[in-house]
């Protein structure tokens, strides 16, 4: 496939883009604490500029200190920010990419802990996620904010940006004024559709006056908010025509607000290009170019979207985190080497709001957000490296070490790579994990990793390789709880069920309501089985990202899965269990099979056999401590670049 549409140039106002690949604005938390541009910002954008993207839109950049949504957000509310932002534009321009900046105010979608004061909004109605009642802006304050957007745009132009994007999407301040869901005013900025549109239109006019007629402007908005009483498609089509008439050169069409965040950060439960129909509808209503977005991770789908006229440009979002080199790889015919976004939301959304992380990274690409600290480059001293275990951590460590020039041998006892993570690709909406594993194997083959599949590594086999480094990535295995009756032949593991090694009966009881147990319940319930999940905690599936969990929970309720929380199993009986619920013993019986999904324990039997016999011995991933795949992959990469 030639991908001729994706690589055709396009004019946005006076701005000519070399191709249709766009990195949309995604908050990263990479700025300095005072909102100035950091070295990490520069390295992150440079990595993507080198990757061949036609347009990079710098993420949420606050026009006012009260407008910050995240702690380490970029600022543009003062001239002091211009020099740092100019560093960013110069860094990107040297690779031929164009760069825009998104002007942003969070409104009610922030926290007092982030901005130091009560949030502000059109009306004193709290965000259903942030849950802090905002202070209603006065009319004078509204007009002052209009000026601040214009002043910020002027600074952006002075800093060398090629375009400015005005953020009217995802439930932030401009969207709050536009939406009847958040705007309850009865003055000139509220009530009717025309009044609700006054704030964004006045901002656009103010920006246009301050940057001049020829400077390109983008407007991002959610064509559907998907909350009760929110903006719908028909109002959004009318809004699109109004902002076009006010001077906008391109429309960036998204979906959702914080109250419908599962559509902003789409999971694999939503198909690639899930919001493309909205972009197509907007494109029919206006004459200016339209950017389509919505979990794009395959160039074939993006090419088709442009070829069929559904969108003029494609924003790749989290896929650009997974692989900053995507456009270059597509151009070179290396589609099979694209690191796929699996829409897990762990390294991006999860880390962004994790107080211990506060950065944007990627499960599949741990170098994302760490461009300054981690780099694949030729090793000073090439070594013989043996990796044991082809799970996610072992695969990542193997290919990265080989890419750095080391000689790598990878032992795997199974015929198929992936370990527990491969099993995790089997439940509904989890197939993207398989794409990630295929990518890791492709990279291992590209860099010459010697794969010894169906070979259980022994100390003798490992030592026979005469390695300088041994990495144990042997993962984990089911941790059976010490229960009476655990040897009941009806007891099986979640892995056995998912891999098809056992055929459960019509009624199944699952002990353990974490990620594995919940997804196994989803898998079985979809097949029409009667499923009960027992969990000690007050809720199930608390070890997965909220937006991913929401779709899972919807499916479990749809299939009628019986969820018994705050339930502690004491004994396995002939066809069920004895358990404690609300301080009372209960019996749950009549099940054909009992599935154990209570966690895993580390497999590290080789450690003692190899200690003192190899120059370097490292243990990563679940073999070190049972955790998530993202931890194993990060450890594998970090180790590989330091060998």
- So which residues are the catalytic ones? 172
CB 50 within 8 A of CB 95: yes
Helix residue ranges, H only, 471-574 = 494-498, 515-526, 546-558
For 224, left (φ over 0), alpha (ψ -120 to 50), or beta? beta
DSSP strand pairing (10-12 vs 15-17):
antiparallel
Cα angle 174, 180, 183; round to 5: 55
DSSP strand pairing (21-23 vs 74-75):
unpaired
Helix residue ranges, H only, 291-418 = 299-307, 318-322, 326-331, 351-352, 392-403
Question: Within its chain, how far is the Cα of 101 from the centroid?
Answer: 21
Q: How far is CA 272 from CA 277, 288, 315, 376, 432, in A?
A: 12, 24, 12, 30, 11
DSSP strand pairing (576-581 vs 593-596):
unpaired
Q: How far is CA 531 from CA 507, 576, 577, in A?
A: 6, 12, 14
Question: Within its chain, how far is the Cα of 586 from the centroid?
Answer: 41
Strand order of the β-sheet with 562-564 is: 491-493, 593-596, 507-511, 530-534, 562-564
Token pair belonging to 348: 């991006």
For 342, left (φ over 0), alpha (ψ -120 to 50), or beta? alpha
Query: 613: closest CA among 468, 475, 474?
Result: 468
Q: How far is CA 18 from CA 45, 52, 55, 252, 322, in A?
A: 17, 9, 8, 18, 22
Residue 442: exposure state from Cβ atoms within 10 A (0-12, 13-18, ≥19): middle
**570 Cβ contact list (under 8 Å, min separation 6):** 483, 577, 578, 579, 580, 585
| DSSP for 594-621, written as a single string | EEE-S-EEE--THHHHHTTTSSEEEE-G
Query: 534: closest CA among 567, 505, 556?
Result: 567
Q: Tokens 């019509």 correspond to what residue?
A: 506
Query: 388: closest CA among 614, 627, 601, 598?
Result: 614
| DSSP for 28-83, written as a single string | ---S-TTSPPPHHHHHHHHHHHHTT-SEEEEEEEESSGGG-SSTT-EE-SSGGGHH
Strands (E) across 163-300 are located at 163-168, 217-222, 250-254, 290-292
Q: CA 367, CA 29: separation in Å to the nearest integer? A: 16
Query: 376: closest CA among 163, 157, 642?
Result: 642
Token pair belonging to 500: 């098809």
């Amino acid at each position: 496939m030639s991908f001729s549409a994706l690589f055709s140039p396009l004019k946005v106002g006076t701005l000519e883009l070399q191709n249709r690949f766009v990195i949309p604005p995604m908050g990263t938390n990479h700025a300095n604490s005072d909102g100035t541009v950091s070295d990490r910002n520069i390295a992150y954008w440079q990595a993507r500029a080198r990757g061949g993207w036609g347009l990079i839109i710098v993420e949420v950049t606050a026009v006012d200190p009260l407008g910050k949504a995240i702690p380490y957000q970029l600022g543009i509310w003062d001239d002091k920010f211009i020099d740092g932002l100019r560093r960013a534009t110069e860094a990107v321009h040297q690779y031929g990419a164009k760069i825009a900046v998104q002007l942003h105010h969070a409104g009610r979608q922030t926290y007092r802990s982030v901005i130091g004061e009560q949030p502000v909004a059109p009306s004193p109605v709290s965000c259903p996620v942030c849950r802090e009642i905002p202070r209603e802006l006065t009319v004078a304050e509204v007009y002052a904010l209009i000026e601040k957007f214009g002043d910020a745009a002027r600074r952006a132009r002075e800093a060398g940006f090629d375009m400015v994007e005005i953020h009217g999407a995802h439930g932030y301040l401009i969207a709050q004024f536009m939406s009847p869901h958040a705007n309850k005013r009865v003055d000139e900025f509220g009530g009717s559709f025309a009044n609700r549109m006054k704030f964004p239109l006045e901002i656009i006019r103010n920006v246009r006056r301050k940057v001049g007629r020829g400077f390109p402007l983008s407007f991002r908005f959610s064509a559907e908010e998907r909350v009760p009483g929110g903006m719908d498609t028909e109002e959004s089509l009318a809004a699109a025509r109004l902002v076009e008439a006010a001077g906008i050169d391109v429309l960036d069409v998204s979906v959702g607000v914080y109250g419908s965040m599962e559509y902003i950060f789409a999971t694999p439960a939503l198909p690639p290009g899930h919001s493309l129909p909205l972009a197509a509808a907007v494109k029919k209503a206006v004459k200016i170019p339209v950017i389509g977005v919505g979990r794009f991770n395959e160039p074939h789908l993006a090419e088709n979207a442009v070829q069929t006229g559904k969108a003029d440009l494609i924003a790749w979002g989290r896929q650009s985190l997974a692989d900053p080199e995507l456009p270059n790889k597509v151009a070179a015919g290396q589609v099979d080497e694209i690191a796929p976004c699996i829409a897990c939301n762990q390294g991006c959304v999860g880390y962004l709001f994790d107080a211990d992380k506060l950065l944007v990274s990627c499960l599949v690409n741990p170098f994302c957000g760490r461009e300054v600290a981690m780099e694949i480059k030729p090793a000073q001293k090439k070594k013989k490296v043996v990796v044991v275990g082809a799970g996610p951590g072992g695969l990542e460590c193997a290919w990265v070490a080989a890419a750095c020039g080391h000689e790598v041998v990878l032992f795997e006892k199974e015929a198929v790579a992936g370990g527990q993570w491969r099993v995790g690709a089997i439940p509904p909406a989890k197939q993207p994990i398989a794409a990630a594993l295929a990518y890791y194997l492709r990279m291992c083959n590209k860099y010459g990793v010697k794969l010894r599949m169906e070979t259980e590594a022994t100390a003798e086999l490992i030592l026979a390789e005469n390695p300088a480094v041994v990495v144990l990535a042997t993962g984990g295995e089911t941790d059976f709880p010490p229960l009476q009756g655990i040897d009941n032949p009806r007891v099986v593991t979640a892995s056995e069920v998912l891999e098809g090694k056992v055929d459960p009966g019509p009624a199944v009881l699952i002990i353990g309501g974490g990620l594995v147990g919940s997804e196994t319940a989803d898998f079985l319930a979809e097949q029409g089985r009667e499923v009960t999940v027992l969990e000690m905690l007050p809720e199930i599936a608390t070890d997965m990202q909220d937006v991913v969990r929401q779709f899972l929970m919807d499916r479990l309720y749809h299939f009628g899965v019986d969820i018994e929380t705050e339930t502690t199993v004491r004994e396995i009986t002939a066809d069920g269990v004895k358990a404690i619920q609300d301080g009372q013993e209960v019996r749950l019986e009549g099940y054909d099979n009992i599935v154990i999904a209570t966690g895993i324990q580390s497999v590290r039997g080789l450690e003692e056999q190899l200690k003192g016999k190899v120059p370097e011995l490292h243990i990563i991933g679940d073999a070190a401590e049972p955790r998530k795949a993202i931890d194993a992959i990060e450890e594998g990469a970090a180790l590989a670049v330091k060998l």
